Structure 1
Amino acid sequence: MTTLADAHPIAPRRELAALVHAESTEVIDDVREVCLQRRENVVIEGTLQWGPLGDFLMAQLSEHDYTDVRIVDVEVPASIAHEQAVRCWWEGRLRGISGRDRMGVRFTPPAAIARLYEKGSVSRCAAHARAAFESSLAAAITQVTLIHIDRRLGAEPLVSRRVDGKLVEGR
């Protein structure tokens, strides 16, 4: 087993989660499809770092006759995203070492975070969330709400809403 500089082994369940990412994505896709077929209320968590995912999800929700969809985009500066990722991982690692949490916490490489901010101070995830909200696929859903929370500015969340195809902007 690989040991890190702190003389403790890697927590195999979460610190190595990237090794099984494709398989876990397939499993969650299957679970989501079952939930959508049952018309259950669902929370779909993701970064929307892959552009087409927003359209795919909007199409899937529309296909299953969902009428009220909310997209939440929380933005932080890249520096804060890096700090939070390291802090979350390290605190989870310490819980694992102490025996309080044997699962560990997923490690997110700095390069993965940096790729999200290649085009400026706002992540590409925000652009993808906005694109999903504005897409023709979202227009087929009775009400789609985009809640943009910018933790860089300390401002109130910006809420954009599309009701019956008409865009209503506001705070």
Structure 2
Amino acid sequence: MAEEHMPHAVHEALVAEARWWGNEHRIAVKAYEQEKTKRIAAEEKARRLSEENRELKALLRNYEADDHTNETPTEESGISHANGGTGDDDDDDVDDDSDDSNNMGVSNVAPRAKRKLSRAEAGRLGAQRKHERRRAREERARAGGEARHRNAGAAGGDVLPPAEPQAPKQMKNNKKNNK
């Protein structure tokens, strides 16, 4: 009687093994599809980044080519000598900000707000704005302290002297400051 049940047990074993291999196959297919989608997304991202990189490099080349033709105006004169300017700002009837094509005493360099700044100009301008903001902040603090001082006496409150501006603290162990 054991012989009659043997084929059924073998069949059950084969079915169980097929199920196991089916599950393994589904898991493997799912992992493969996930890897495929990740790879496709990575390739798309790399392609998009390389296109952007090419565009940025082209823009940089164009900017550098333009940067050599348009000399920046000097702070003193306001007009570039390299672009046909005379260097003197005494001519009041000539608009320095205009972009005339004849270059008769007028620079074709765009005003600072309209043209792209070089790194050095941007750095100088950023530092200048930083210092201006700091000075304005200190002025507001001084004015606020004086206003509090005046208003406190008028309102019948305690009169406090205006806060004195303090020098910035020197950082410890800073090699730049310890030269």
TM bucket, shorter chain: under 0.3
Larger radius of gyration: 2
- When normalised by structure 1's length, the TM-score is 0.21
- When normalised by structure 2's length, the TM-score is 0.21
Which structure has the higher relative contact order (CA within 8 Å, separation 6+)? 1
More helix by share: 2
More strand by share: 1
